[in-house]
Structure 1
């Protein structure tokens, strides 16, 4: 196991520091807020990721995705209203899964400070702050790259208590005796990050050179607890608050991301775009922003030409929970139990005609599994379509709806939610799409596209 980690860790460092070298010697640079800021995204199972384990089997990857998905669903349920029915036991959950509160799916790298120091963070649509671990550390977890030392940056500055960014924070936690602005984020599982709210220069690489943006607000975390298993430096929040990098980059408050084949560890074209150059194209549907998450109005589901018999309103968000969230931190999707049952029955009816059922181990929640290979045996299967408000249809093929459980068994990649519980559009369902968020118009646009053409 030590040899495996060392091998993947070395490859990650090679990618990371060669990126830094090419970025340091770029010939063009900008210090204004950019029209289009593109950032490569690294999937956590990519060969370029510090989490990569090239010796992991298909089943091990599937089970890890399941464990992190139910952990993420439980977190989202608790955060948005109603606790999940999924329970956790220490002997069932691998290290790091319970602390997966911000959903480590995609990583982004850029630099902080003067001189610039490379960092690696988790992209999180459900968070509204960029934060990284900082020296001196009162409590810090082990990350795969050096921890940022603000004392060595000539442009680092802690915000004062009367700064606009500090004023929006809870007043009982925002100030210390030196009138420095503090932040503290606590998660449902008792993990937390705490430190100074500060500003510094952020430097990003793009195909056109480098972009340097001064005075970007971020959290410099000196106390970071309960985050076992994390190796990245912190979180890149894309939420709907003034502290979010989306708000700081431009007044139009737009961002987009494109997700390709997440099962291919060599895929290198996932990307995030910030600013007015974000790609806002294709179908468009309203988004509701509630409690820091992006909700969609899902009106129905069809399989092929058959509309499923789903009671109207079961996807509505209420004061006690429910609704449909699109999330960058959860691998599998989840559906409210009645919708889940309707979808699984419709797919079962089709698949029973052509394939032999398989049974996943009792410890797994996969209720619809078959003997076969997704890319071979599901070609031509009628697509599943999620029908969102304003006639926005999200068409999901076999790669978005099914996961390979082992070499010769695949299962439906959807978790069963509660009766009045939350539904989530996970990253498997988002494969091969570009999603554009317009936070001023409160619209989500999406289209099927090859991310490589956007790189």
Structure 2
């Protein structure tokens, strides 16, 4: 983060807290409010078990999200788990080191995308929404949070990475040219009654950044590459996703036959970014373009938290900060960071100008569910480090802890 660090986006990862996101950009508040976050001790490691399927009784279906018809929003929710919940054979130091390694790769991915972009120049239905689970993926060697949802008809339940920093939804598919290791069996589209390929040249295919075409099958082909070297390639298709008994029909997703990278353990990725192919954007009108998530701690709490889509995602007591739009890049969720306090005192030298998102798309602060460590531009980090040292001068430095 040195050198051109000032022009790179700061990454803000919120743990042990709840995040409310809207795809809309509200007006900036003229009187910012501040709230103290309290760090709690981590619980003991839990034991998790999962059923391969869930009952399909009392299942509600959401029809094609691309339809122009108005429809009533329903409530969906999923549990959230951190990946740490799935691994018990590693020491805390091993987990910490691997997390930092993965985190550095992800940050390079996000900053390289933002830098590349920087160099280039209606009525909504209302209703309660739906939800899903969130779990820690640390046990699988992944720094991401996972959810468990059903794919296809009948639904095959798999772990999916939750990522607010990317858009395309995808899953590993049989037959695999090359697939990484995942917890659940690889999804076989031939066994799903709702799976359908997207034709070449269709509007959905043209929404891809780099659409391709399998001329032999006349089906759309997708490819997504990440800055850390990870990628997924396959057929762009539509499929039904099931969230706690609520079926969401015709979700555009990638059926990946060649997938490589850091997505260990999960079957694929649920893109939650602001771009037009993300899951929230595809079915936004179904839940009034709102969703929220509460993150479990990294030690893998036995009680997963939830991700909720719809009006019920917003607590009546919630406090908000506006989202900021990047005119050059619509994927990321940017917020305006005004300052940082240590021990209740604002740190001098840390001003809003250090985190400002300029007109060329450089800078800014990104809320990212897939980044473990909060990273700051160097001047802000140095000021925060010095303030922390002063405030913690009476504490003994822990073994193996280095503050640079």
Band the TM-score falls in, shorter-chain normalisation:
0.7 to 0.9
- Note the residue ranges of structure 1 that are not aligned, 5 or more in a row: 1-10, 83-96, 369-455
Q: Distance in 2 between matches of 1:294 and 1:271?
A: 20
Distance in 1 of aligned mates of 2:276 and 2:372:
28
**2:275: which partner in 1?**
241
Q: Which residue of 1 is the match for residue 226 of structure 2? A: 187
Q: What is the alpha-carbon distance in structure 2 between the residues aligned to residue 192 and residue 261 of structure 1?
A: 28
Question: Judging changes above 3 Å, is the alpha-carbon distance between structure 1 residues 260 and 144 closer, same or farther for their aligned structure 2 residues?
Answer: closer
Contact 1:238 / 1:244 at 8 angstroms: preserved in 2? yes
Matched, 1:126 2:161: no
**How many Å separate the matches in 2 of 1:182 and 1:273?**
31
Q: Distance in 2 between matches of 1:320 and 1:213?
A: 34
- Does residue 307 of structure 1 match 2:342? no
Match of 2:59 in 1: 29
Report the equivalent of 2:384: 343
CA deviations over 1:312-333 (Å, ceiling 9, x no partner): 4111124473321111011111
Task: Report which structure shows greater RCO (CA 8 Å, sep ≥6).
Answer: 2
Q: Contact between 2:198 and 2:237, CA under 8 Å: does it hold in 1?
A: yes
Match of 2:366 among 325, 345, 350: 325
Please name the residue that 1:279 is paired with. Answer: 314
Change (3 A) 1:160 1:28: same
Cα deviation, residue 280, structure 1: 5.4
Q: Could you say which residue in structure 1 is the equivalent of 2:254?
A: 219
Specify which of 265, 268, 276 is matched with residue 231 of structure 1.
265
Change (3 A) 1:266 1:179: same
Contact 2:147–2:159 (8 Å) recurs in 1: yes
Which residue in the other structure is 1:38 paired with? 77
Cα deviation digits, residues 408-443 of structure 1 (max 9, x gap): xxxxxxxxxxxxxxxxxxxxxxxxxxxxxxxxxxxx
| 1:68 and 2:102 matched | yes
TM-score (norm: length of structure 1): 0.64
What SS does the corresponding residue of 2:165 show, helix, strand or coil?
A: coil
Aligned-pair CA distance for 1:243:
1.9
SS of aligned partner of 2:153: coil
Deviations 1:341-388 (Å, cap 9, x if unpaired)?
111211211211x21234637xxxx317xxxxxxxxxxxxxxxxxxxx
- Aligned partners of 2:193, 2:211: CA distance in 1, in Å? 30
- Take 1:114 and 1:356, find their aligned partners in 2: how far apart are those partners? 57
Q: 1: distance between equivalents of 2:209 and 2:110?
A: 22
TM-score, length basis structure 2: 0.72
Q: Structure 2 regions of 5+ residues with no counterpart? A: 1-46, 64-72, 117-137
RMSD: 2.6
Partner of 2:114: 80
- 2:181 is equivalent to residue 142 of structure 1: yes
Q: Tell me what 1:419 maps to.
A: none
Shift of 1:173: 2.3
